[in-house]
Amino acid sequence: MHLSLLATNTMIWTVAFVLQCVLVYLIFRRGIAPRFPVFSSLLIFQPVRAALLFGLSGHIRSSVTISLYGVFSFIDAAVQLMVAVELALHMISGVGGWTRFRALLCLLLLGAALVFTSIAISLVPGRVSADRLQIFAWFTLFALFGAMLKGSRSYNLTNISAGFSLFSLVQFSALAGRTVALLHRNAIQYAAWSYVSAIGYLAIVVFWIITLRRESERVRIPVPSQNSDLP
């Protein structure tokens, strides 16, 4: 059983690492990285973090590993919030800049994210790992996608936001599943839900690999025919 679990974890880690590296290569190859530098930094950080934790596993004390994992998780959540800011600024710029209404809308979305974060934290038992900053980032990215559906004029911008929105839904589902499993003292179900986050993120990476396009392909302007004025 232990060997089977180890093989499963190694396979998931390997596939995730390869796909993340492919995505990083593609966003630079397609010219997306210069336009979304914070998003690109997050994509670079995640495989580097995974490689460091995997490489240091078994070579340092478990307490140091846990502390290092906590630091990396904080950085990951903080950069996700920075990505949300980057995406919001792109969206606002694409619709003509700031107005009082748009500024108020951003404040309302942040307020709603804070409220839902507080509710989620209050519903999660203390024995289930739940990072407040990370949950706030999930709600913020999810709310931002709702605004993107109305205001985004960019194909890549919408798809980046859609990926984060789907990822947030997966994380909320996994957190709810672990909570229910813990309340019912179901260790197998709890372990199964722990894999949902990793597999869900793999699906999002594949989604970005498929949908993100070269920046020159974001907007296609039809070229009028030379004979269009002829009767």
Confidence at residue 137, expressed as pLDDT on a 0 to 100 scale = 93
CATH number of 8-215: 1.20.1070
Its pTM stands at: 0.84
**Token digits for 81?**
């919030």
**pLDDT tens-digit readout, 149-168:** 887 888 999 999 999 999 99
128-144 pLDDT per residue, tens: 555 788 899 999 999 99
Please check the confidence at residue 89 and state whether its pLDDT lies above 90.
Answer: yes
Helices (H), the chain: 2-29, 37-56, 62-94, 100-123, 132-151, 155-183, 187-211
Q: Is the pLDDT of residue 230 over 70?
A: no
Confidence band, pLDDT 50/70/90 cuts, at residue 226: very low
Two tokens at 23? 């995505």
Look at residue 224 in the predicted model and tell me its pLDDT. 45
- Considering the chain, what is the average pLDDT of its residues? 85
The residue ranges of every structural domain in the chain are 8-215
**CB-side neighbour CA atoms (13 Å) of 29:** 9
The 10s digit of each residue's pLDDT in 32-63 is 999 999 999 999 999 999 888 888 877 778 78
Per-residue pLDDT of 183-222, as tens digits, reads: 888 888 888 888 888 899 999 999 999 999 886 554 444 4
Instruction: Note every long-range contact of 206-209, with CB atoms under 8 Å and residues 24 or more positions apart, other chains counting.
Output: 206/19, 207/159, 207/162, 207/163, 207/166, 208/23, 208/159, 208/160, 208/163, 209/19, 209/22, 209/23, 209/26
- The arithmetic mean of pLDDT across residues 124-131, rounded, is 64
Cα–Cα distances in Å, from 69 out to 102, 196, 214, 224, 231? 37, 19, 34, 56, 70
Q: What is the pLDDT of residue 3?
A: 64
Lowest mean pLDDT among 2-6, 105-109, 145-149, 219-223: 219-223
- The residues, ordered by sequence, that sit 6+ positions from 39 with a Cβ below 8 Å of its Cβ are 27, 83, 86, 87, 160
- Residue 129, pLDDT score: 56
Could you tell me the pLDDT band of residue 223, with boundaries at 50, 70 and 90?
A: very low
